[in-house]
Amino acid sequence: MKLAVIKTGGKQYLVGEGTKVKVEKLSQKEGKAVAFPDVLMTVTDKAVTLGEPDVDAAKVEGKVVRHGRREKVFGVKMKAKKRERKYFGHKQWFTEVEITKITTR
C-alpha cells in the first residue's frame, strides 16, 4: 500500500491510492486529471521517505470527481456593553479528488 502526504491550498492531506479527499477549490473541470507536485512524505511497503521540504521525483495524480460547498458554519461578533451583535454564516467551496496514482522513485 502506498501513502503520501501532499500539500495543496495551504493544507496538508494524507492520501492513499483509491481514496477520495476534499481539498480547497481547484480550477480543473469535473472528470479532468490533476497533479500534486508538492509531496512532503511517501510511505511504501519497503521504505518511508521524508522530504526536505519536498520528496524528489515523487508525484501524486488524481481525478476531479466533483465541486461543491461544505456545511454552513455560523459565528457571532459581539461588542461588550454596546448591545451590538452580528451573526454570520459561511460555506466554503471544495473540490473532491480521487487519488489514482502515487509515483515514487
Q: 74 or 52: which carries more pLDDT confidence?
A: 74
Q: C-alpha 88: how far from its chain's center?
A: 25
Structure-block grid coordinates of residue 103? 509515483
What is the reported pTM?
Answer: 0.84
Q: CA triplet 78, 82, 88: central angle to 5 degrees?
A: 25
Q: How much is the pLDDT for 1?
A: 79
Q: What is the pLDDT of residues 29-50, one digit of tens each?
A: 999 999 999 999 999 998 898 9
Instruction: Indicate the average pLDDT of the chain.
Output: 94
Domain tally for the chain? 1
Structural domain of 83: 3-103
Strands (E), the chain: 3-8, 11-16, 20-24, 33-36, 39-43, 48-50, 59-69, 73-79, 84-90, 93-103
What is the pLDDT, as a whole number, of residue 18? 94
Query: Predicted confidence band at 82 (pLDDT cuts at 50, 70, 90)?
Result: very high
